[in-house]
Each structure stands twice: as C-alpha cells, then as structure tokens.
Amino acid sequence: MLQRSLRLPSFVAACAFACAGLMACSSDESRIYDAYKCGNVAQILGRHEQATAAVMKVKSLLDQKTGNPGQYILGLRDKLTDDMALYKLSPRGQAEKINDIYESGTCQKLYQ
C-alpha cells in the first residue's frame, strides 16, 4: 500500500508533464494551421508578400515535423477546405469570409 501511494505522485507528475507536452504540440499544430490558413487567404487575394510572411513565421515549426511534409500539407489543405466550406457560400459570402479571415488579428500578426 505504501509503495502505491509513493508511486501515485510520480504517476501524477508524469501525466502532468505528458499533458503539457501534448498541449505544446497542439499549440504548434494550431500555429502552423493558422499560418497556412492566413497564407492561403492572402494568396487568394493576391497579397503574395503577406502569404510568404505568414508561412515564414512557422517555417521552423514546420521543419521540425516528422514524416512526409507533402502529406502533412495535404492534411492542412483538407482541414482548411472543411473549415472554410467556401463551396457552401455564394460568391459574395466567399469574398466576405476570405476578407474576414485576412483581416483577423491572428492573420494580421502573421503578416507583419
């Protein structure tokens, strides 16, 4: 019984560190996705410098990704297509959505 109670704090500490590590990964994934999304809408609007700036902000994170980078980018593209769902909107709705994303605070920070 005493051994179990001594192991419990170690187990809790290990879980806490694992969760913190997963959140960091999740945060990195989110930053990469945001940069990809902002870069894409900038590209759609013909603002190529901003598109490049957004992607360059997360280039080091992207370089750290393991596996096939092409496959990873395809996954980002699929997620973006699903999230934006532009195909469900009228041309005006599409333009508004793209502009809203472009002008968001997240994207504006990435464009600087």
Give the per-residue pLDDT at 9.
42
**15 — pLDDT class (breaks 50, 70, 90):** very low
Q: What are the extents of the domains in the chain? A: 29-111
CA distances to 13, 37, 51, 94, 108 from 71, in Å: 35, 16, 20, 27, 27
Q: What is the arithmetic mean of pLDDT over 42-66?
A: 90
In this model, does residue 61 exceed pLDDT 80? Answer: yes
CB neighbour burial string for 10-46, b if at least 16 within 10 angstroms, e if fewer = eeeeeeeeeeeeeeeeeeeeebbbbbbbbbbbbebee
Q: What is the arithmetic mean of pLDDT over 80-85?
A: 94
* CA 13 to chain centroid: 28
Percent of residues, the chain, with pLDDT higher than 70: 74
